[in-house]
Amino acid sequence: MPNQLGITPIYDSIRIDLIKNAMKLVFATNNKNKLKEVQAMLPQTIELVSLSDIGCYEDIPETASTIEGNAIQKANYIRKHYQYDCFADDTGLEVEILNGAPGVYSARYAGDAKNADANMDKLIQNLQGKENRNAQFKTVIALIINGETKTFTGICSGHITKEKRGTKGFGYDPIFVPNTYTQTFAEISLETKNKISHRSRAVQKLKAYLSNFS
Ligand code: IMP
Q: What is the dihedral of CA 5, 8, 12, 17, to 10 degrees?
A: 180
Probe target for ligand 1 pocket from 106, 189, 201, with the most ligand atoms within 8 Å of CB: 106
Residue 196 has pLDDT above 70, yes or no: yes
Which of 8-22, 63-77, 102-116, 166-180 shows the lowest mean pLDDT across its residues?
8-22
pLDDT in tens, 18-42: 445 678 999 999 888 889 889 989 9
Strand, helix or coil at 141?
A: strand
**Pairwise CA distance, residues 202 & 41, whole Å:** 11
Q: What is the mean pLDDT of residues 39-53?
A: 93
- Omega into 61 within 30° of 0, i.e. cis? no
85 Cβ below 6 A of ligand 1:
no
pLDDT in tens, 172-188: 999 999 999 999 999 99
Residue 53 sits at the vertex; the CA angle it makes with 211 and 149, to the nearest 5 degrees, is 40
DSSP strands (E only) in the chain:
23-27, 46-49, 86-95, 102-103, 134-145, 148-160, 176-178
Looking at this protein, which amino acid is placed at residue 61?
P
pLDDT in tens, 85-103: 999 999 999 999 999 999 9
Question: Is 90 in the active site?
Answer: yes
Probe target for ligand 1 pocket from 30, 170, 200, with the most ligand atoms within 8 Å of CB: 170
| CA 77 to ligand 1 centroid distance, Å | 21
**Pairwise CA distance, residues 122 & 92, whole Å:** 15
200 Cβ below 6 A of ligand 1:
no
Type and span of the H or E element at 121: helix 116-126
Q: What is the mean pLDDT of residues 5-14?
A: 49
Q: What is the mean pLDDT of residues 148-162?
A: 98
Q: What is the mean pLDDT of residues 106-128?
A: 97
